[in-house]
Structure 1
Amino acid sequence: MDLEQQLLFLFSALGAFNGFFLSIYFAFFSKKKLISNYFLAALLLMLSIRIIKSVFFYFNPNLSEVFIQIGLSACVLIGPFLYLYSKAIVQHNKMNGSWMFHVIPVILIVTILGLVYPYWSYKRLWSGTIVRLIYLQWLIYIVITGICLKDVLKKLVSKNVKIKDLEIWMISIFVGVTIIWIGYNIGSYTSYIVGAFSFSFVFYLLVLFWVFRRKKNFLFFEEHIKYANKKIHNSEAESLQKRLDDIIVEKELFKNSNLKLNDVAGQLNIVPHYLSQFLNDNLNKSFSVFINEYRIEEAKRLLLNPNNKYTTEAIGYECGFNSKSTFFTTFKKITGVTPTKFKNNANP
C-alpha cells in the first residue's frame, strides 16, 4: 500500500478498534450498571465488527469468507440495538424482557440463514438480496428509533424547552448511525470504504463532543444524576408551583434584572438544586425561560394598559430586562410577535 492507502486504512480501522474497546468498557467496567449501557456496548460491538470487516475486505479482497459472513450478519443487530438503547434512555432504564423479541429472533434467523445458505456457497445471494434486506431492516429500525425520540427531537426546534445533555448525546448517536447507514448505501456509487470511513469520522466527532461536555459534569454517555433522575411527585410539585407563583408575583421578583435561581430558592426556604430539579424535570424549563415568561406577561399587561405612560423600551426595563434587544428578542420568542406589533394588534 502507498502512503495514501496506509492513512486511509489507519483512519478507517482506528475508529472501529476504538469502538470495540469502548463496547468492552460499557459492558464490564462502566460505573453504572444500566441496561442502556449494555445496549450501547452491543451497538458499538456490532458496528465495530461490521466496520472491521469492511476495512479488511477493502484492502484484502481475499479475506476469509467466514469473517465476511460474520461482518454482514452483525449488521442485522445494529438497528435493534440502536432502538433498544434509545428506548432504554427514554424510559429511564426501566425496561422489561420485551427487548429480547428484538434480538433473539434476529439472531436465530441470521444463524439459520448462515448455516443453510453460507456466504462461501451463495455469494451472489448474500451480495444481492440478503444485503438489501439487511440494509432495509436497518433503515426500518432507524425510522422506529426516530419515532421513539420524537419528543426529544422536538426540543431541538423548541425555543422554550431546555434540552438535556443526555438527550443531545442520544440524538448524536441516532444521527451518527444514520450517517453510517447512508455511507454504506452510497458506497456502490462512490467507494466501498465510505461506510467504514464515516464510522471513524462520526466516532471521533462524538469523542470531541464528550470532551467538551465533560467540562459541564457530563459523564461519558451517562448523565450526571444530581437528583436521582426522578421528577418531584405531583402533589409536592403542585404545592411548590403555587408557592413559586405566589412569591414571584406578590414580590415581583421578576423585575430584578439580576435575579438568580439561588435568590428565589432563598425566598422559598429551599435548597437551590431542589428548585432546579423542579424547573428542569417537572416543567422542562431553564430558570431564565421560567422567569422571562413572568416578565413577558407583565410586559403584555403594561402594553395593553391605556393609562400606561412608559415607552415600549422602558416597559422592557420595568419588567426586568437589562437591554432593549433582549426584551424584543424574548418577547417575540414567547409570543411570536414584537412588542409593538402586539400592541397594535390589540388596538387596531
Structure 2
Amino acid sequence: MIDIFQGIAFFNFIFFSILIWLHKDKIDYAIYIFSFFLLGKGLTLFSNLILTKAIFPSNETILNTGIVLNSFLFFYAPFLCFFALSVVYGAVSLKKYWIHFIPFVLFLLLNTIVVFARLTKVEESVFVKILDIRSTFTKLYYVQVVGYTIASIWILHSYKSESVRFQKMSRWLKGVLIAFFTVWMLFLASSVTETNVNLSEGFTFLGVLLLLLLSNIVIVFLLNNPEFFYNHLSVKLQKLPDDKKATRAVYEKLCQLIVEQQLYKKADLKIGDLSEAIQESSRAVSKVINSHYGGNFNDFINSYRIEEAKKLLRNEDEEITILTILYEAGFNSKSVFNTVFKKMEGETPSSYRKKYLTSMYS
C-alpha cells in the first residue's frame, strides 16, 4: 500500500511540474520556482520505489539509476525558501544562492561513487566504508528540510502586506509548509523508531499518505485559484457565462493582443481601441473583461501596467527613476501610479524596489 501511495504521489508531483513548464511563459515566477521543488520531491519518491525494489526488482541498471536519482533528496528543500522569497520579493536570482546546492552536489558525488564501486566490484570492506559515509551524510537531510521549511514560514510571516492576493497566497503557502513539516517529522519518527518495525512502518505510511494528499491539494488549488498561479499578463480561467460574446476565446484573444502589442503602455488607451483591435463592440469587450477578469477596464489595463512596473523596479540599475518607470509602464501621473500600485500590491513602488534590492544584496 505504501508503494502504491508513493507511486501516485510521484506521478502527481512530476505531472504538475511538467504542467507548469509547458505554461512557464504565463505562469507566475514564484510558481515556476515551486515546480523545481515538486520535481525534486517526485524524483526522490521514484528513487525510493527503485531502491526498495517495489519496481524493477532485478534490473541492476535501473537500481544504479535509482541510487543516482536519490541525490535529489538534498535538492528540493532550498526551493521552498526560494519560493517564499519569490512570493514576497518577486523574481530572485538563483545564482546568488548557489551555496545552497552544495549538499545536493556532495550527495550526488557520493552516490556516483557508490554506483562506480558497484560497477567495478571494489573490495567489500571499501564498499562498506563508502556506504557508511553516505549513510552518515543522509542523516543531515532532516536538518536541511526542517531548517528550510522553518525559514520559509518565517519569511512569509515577517513580511507584511495589505495585498489581498498576497495574503491569500501566503495563507495557502503557510498551510502547505506546515503540512510538509509534518511529513518530515513523520519520516524522522519512522527513522528513529526503525527498531520497532510496526511503529516505524506506521509513521512511514502516515507520511506517504500525507504526501499523497498534498500532491492532490496542490492540483486542486491550481484549478480553483488559477489567478494565484498565472501572472497578470496571462489568461485567468474562471467559470464562463452562457453569453456567446463573453467567451474564453475572446478574452484570450484580447489578452494576447495586449501583451504582443504592449497596448497597456499607451497612457491614453481606451476601451474603444480594444474593441476596434479585436473587432468586437465596446459593450462586448467590457462584458468579457468583467466576466473573466472580475473588474472594470481600468483595473484590467492597470494590472498589466503594474506587472510591467514591477519588472522595471526589479532592475538593479538604480539610475532608472520611478518617474521613468511609471511612464514606461503606461501611466501618465505619479499620484495615480502610486495609488494603483499600493492598491494592487499593498505597498508603494519605492518600498517594493527597496525590499527587492535588499533581498538581492543582503
Give distance in 2, aligned partners of 1:36 and 1:278.
20
Contact 2:30 2:86 in 1 (8 A): yes
> Deviation per CA, 1:115-156, whole angstroms, max 9, x where unpaired?
4455963444434x222112212222223223322235x78x
Contact 1:76 1:106 in 2 (8 A): yes
| Counterpart for residue 170 of structure 2 | 167
Q: For residue 111 of structure 1, what is the aligned residue in structure 2?
A: 108
Shift of 1:67: 4.0
Q: 1:267-303 deviations in whole A, cap 9, x for unaligned?
A: xxxxxxx96754352469xxxxxxxxxxxxxxxxxxx
**Matching residue of 1:39:** 33
Work out the CA distance in 2 between the residues paired with 1:35 and 1:279: 21
Contact 2:47 2:67 in 1 (8 A): no
What is the CA–CA distance in structure 2 between the aligned matches of 1:124 and 1:96, rounded to whole Å?
A: 32
- The question of 1:97 aligning with 2:104 is answered no
1:187 alignment partner, one of 186, 190, 206:
190
Root-mean-square deviation (CA), in Å? 3.8
Aligned residue type for 1:208: V
How far does residue 88 in structure 1 lie from its aligned partner after superposition?
2.0
TM-score normalised over the length of structure 1: 0.54
Which one of 39, 43, 60 corresponds to residue 54 of structure 2? 60
Alpha carbons 2:29, 2:90 under 8 Å: kept: no
Name the amino acid aligned to 1:183: L
Alpha-carbon deviation of 1:12?
A: 3.0
Deviation at 1:108, TM superposition (A): 3.0
Q: Classify 1:195/1:66 alpha carbon distance in 2 versus 1 (closer, same or farther; 3 Å).
A: farther
User: Greater Rg, structure 1 or structure 2?
Assistant: 1
Distance 1:96 1:115 in 2: 25
The question of 1:27 aligning with 2:34 is answered no
C-alpha deviation, 1:15, in angstroms: 1.9
CA contact (8 A) 1:180 1:195 kept: yes
CA distance in 2, matches of 1:237, 1:283: 17
Superposed counterparts of 1:123-272, under 5 Å: 123-127=131-135, 129-152=136-159, 162=164, 163-188=166-191, 189=193, 190-191=200-201, 192-214=204-226, 218-219=227-228, 221-224=229-232, 227=303, 228-229=306-307
Summarize the Cα distance change of 1:56–1:114 in structure 2 as closer, same or farther, 3 Å threshold: closer
1:49-73 Cα offsets, whole Å, 9 max, x none, are 1122334545639575424423431
- The farther-off stretch of 24-33 and 225-234 is 225-234
Q: 1:69 to 1:96 in 2, by over 3 A?
A: closer
Partner of 1:85: 83
What is the aligned length? 235
In structure 2, the CA distance between the partners of 1:237 and 1:183, relative to structure 1 (3 Å rule), is farther
Report the alpha carbon displacement of residue 48 of structure 1 after superposing the two structures with TM. 0.3
Partner SS state of residue 225, structure 2: helix
- The offset of 1:201, in angstroms, is 1.3
Whole-angstrom CA distance in 1 between matches of 2:163 and 2:22: 35
- For residues 205 and 134 of structure 2, the distance between their equivalents in structure 1, rounded to whole angstroms, comes to 18
Counterpart residue identity of residue 107, structure 2:
V
What is the aligned partner in structure 2 of residue 50 from structure 1? 44
Give the residue type in structure 2 aligned to 1:205: I
Q: Deviations over 1:188-211 (max 9, x none)?
A: 343244443321111112223333
CA distance in 2, matches of 1:77, 1:149: 21
In 2 relative to 1, CA 34–102 (structure 1 residues): closer, same or farther, beyond 3 Å? farther
Contact persistence 1:72–1:131 (CA under 8 A): no
Instruction: Give the Cα–Cα distance (whole angstroms) in 1 for the partners of residues 67 and 151 of structure 2.
Output: 26
- Report the Cα offset of residue 111 of structure 1: 2.8
* 8 Å CA contact 1:51, 1:196 repeated in 2: no
Counterparts of 1:298-313 in structure 2 under 5 Å?
none
Deviation track 1:14-56 (CA, whole Å, cap 9, x = no partner) reads: 1211211221222343332665344222111110011223345
CA contact (8 A) 2:80 2:152 kept: yes
Summarize the Cα distance change of 1:211–1:32 in structure 2 as closer, same or farther, 3 Å threshold.
closer
Give aligned-pair identity as a percent. 14
Instruction: Tell me, in whole angstroms, the C-alpha distance in 2 between the residues paired with 1:123 and 1:96.
Output: 31
Distance in 1 (alpha carbons) for counterparts of 2:29 and 2:40: 17
Amino acid in structure 2 at the alignment position of 1:132: K
Task: Give the SS at the match of 1:186.
Answer: helix
For structure 1, the 5+ residue unaligned runs are: 242-273, 285-348
Amino acid at match of 1:87: L
Q: Aligned with 1:93: secondary structure?
A: coil
**1:185 Cα deviation from its structure 2 partner:** 1.3
The verdict on how the C-alpha distance between 1:100 and 1:125 changes in structure 2, with shifts beyond 3 A counting, is closer
1:49 and 1:71 in contact (8 A); partners too: yes
